[in-house]
Structure 1
Amino acid sequence: MDAGLAAVLGALAGSVATIGAALATGWAQREGVRITARSEHRRARREPRHDIYRQFISEAKPLGLHAGVYSALGSTLMPDYFTEERIRQAREASRAINDKATEVALAGPRKITESALKIARLASSLTACVGNFREMGDERHQRMRDQSRRSVMKYAKKYDAALQDFILQAQFALDDDGSR
């Protein structure tokens, strides 16, 4: 091979290597910027979500505590336990939970939204069951009262489980750094 051809091939190989290195560097820089931007986006979303989730849990906890009492009382739960004041508090808690569930739904992600909306539905159902059970004070309707008591206990347990599930899902969502 003559020296001129070797010089041209050497220059060509050097050019190809330089272009390849430039492309690889450009790709690596672009990926680095994308990862940084994604990480910054997640951090910026994490703080507001944390506050919204905390507020939702704060609104949902009081009804959860009442639900725990309903479950604990079991078959000894009587309609006269539900005073007008307790029913009013339950209805207010249910409304507040529904309002906060909307905020949680807007903050996302999807699994958290589904969980918050489930809690809101259960809060409404539990409150309705409590109201119905309160109306069953007459002992002549024992069968209906027993059925209504079972409904209160069923929704109380579901509500408590859904709230615990939401807390765990919120914790997972806030811990997600985007690397999974």
Structure 2
Amino acid sequence: MDAGTAAVLGALVGSVATIGAALATGWAQREGVRITARSEHRRERREPRQGAYQEFISSALSLHSQIHVFAGEAELVPEAISSDEYSQFHALASAVEQKSITVALAGPREVTEAALKIGRLSIDIASNIGAVGLIHANDEGSDERFRWKMRKVIADHAVLFESAVDNFVLLAQAALDDDGSRK
């Protein structure tokens, strides 16, 4: 091969290598910017999420403090409940349900699903406690087995509620720890 052809081929190989290096560098820079932007976006969302999660957990624990005594123990569920006690259960459950919506909007999906589940459980528990209270108040010939089943449902829901709150806390921690560096 003559010197002129070798020089042209050398220049061509050099140009192709330079173009390849430029493309690789551009891709790496673009990925770096994308990761940085995603990380910044996650950081900006973390603070509002943390506040929403904290308020939600606080409300859920307030309700939990009222129902944990009879978690799994139907005989500990009161047969009679005053309207003031029911109002307290209902207010706590409503607060949990309302804050579950705020958390659901903050996301991410796993946290949303867990929060909505807790919101539904809280309302179910309060409704069932109210039903047991109403059945007892109108005791005229009410079925004792039905009342026992309702008390058992409340006790079982209290266990599910406790487990769901524990699960939510773990999911919330994971969501807040996510810095956006992974896909």
TM-score w.r.t. structure 1 length?
0.91
Which structure carries more helix by proportion?
A: 1
Amino-acid identity (%): 50
Aligned to 1:27: 27
* Structure 1 residues 4 and 75, CA gap change in structure 2 (3 angstroms): same
Deviations 1:51-108 (A, max 9, x none): 111111111111111121122764143323x322221111111221121111111111
Alignment of 1:1-180 (within 5 A): 1-71=1-71, 74-80=74-80, 82-137=81-136, 138=139, 141=142, 142-178=144-180, 179=182
Show structure 1 runs of 5+ residues with no match: none
Contact 2:56 2:96 in 1 (8 A): yes
Give the whole-Å Cα distance in 1 for the aligned partners of 2:89 and 2:156: 16
- Of 135-144 and 10-19, deviating more is 135-144
The whole-number CA distance in structure 1 between the counterparts of 2:34 and 2:25 is 14
Amino acid at match of 2:147: R
Take 2:2 and 2:76, find their aligned partners in 1: how far apart are those partners?
Answer: 104
CA distance in 2, matches of 1:101, 1:90: 16
The alignment partner of 1:79 has SS state of coil
- Contact map agreement 1:115 1:166 (CA 8 A) in 2: yes
Equivalenced residue count is 179
Counterparts of 1:176 and 1:17, CA distance in 2? 38
Q: Which stretch of structure 1 is more off in the superposition, 125-134 or 6-15?
A: 6-15
Give the structure-2-normalised TM-score: 0.90
- Does the 8 Å CA contact 2:132/2:150 hold for their aligned counterparts? yes
Query: Cα deviations across residues 26-55 of structure 1 (Å, max 9, x unaligned)?
Result: 111111111111111111111111111111
The alpha-carbon deviation at position 139 of structure 1 amounts to: 8.4
| Distance change (3 Å), C-alpha of 1:24 and 1:72 | closer
Spell out, residue by residue over 1:3-31, the C-alpha distance to the aligned partner (whole angstroms, 9 max, x if none).
21121111111111111111111111111
